[in-house]
Amino acid sequence: MLREAGVELARGATVAQVCRKSGVTEPTYYSWRKEYGSLRMDQAKRLNVLEKENARLKRLLAEAELDKAILKEAASGNF
């Protein structure tokens, strides 16, 4: 989307026009441009994969910590 927006902007379109065409708000466009604008396509894809993996690992850690707390409470006889 950012690449297409860049082409449209180079052709003289305004940011508002590009955002309407793409179906995103201007703040979203600027947020994406700030976060992903300097990345190449392969870097952006890699970042996305790493963010998903990070979220998955955080969920697993939270589940493990919960299991550990349950087992600790059961072992102490307070169940």
- The CB-side HSE value for 42 (13 A sphere, CA atoms) comes to 0
54-77 exposure pattern, b = at least 16 Cβ within 10 A, e = fewer: eeeeeeeeeeeeeeeeeeeeeeee
CA dist 53 and 35 (Å) reads 19
User: What pLDDT does residue 46 have?
Assistant: 87
pTM: 0.51
Handedness of CA 70, 74, 76, 79 (dihedral sign): positive
Average pLDDT over residues 62-78: 91
User: What pLDDT does residue 79 have?
Assistant: 59
12-67 confidence digits (pLDDT tens): 999 999 999 989 999 998 888 888 776 677 887 888 899 999 999 999 999 999 99
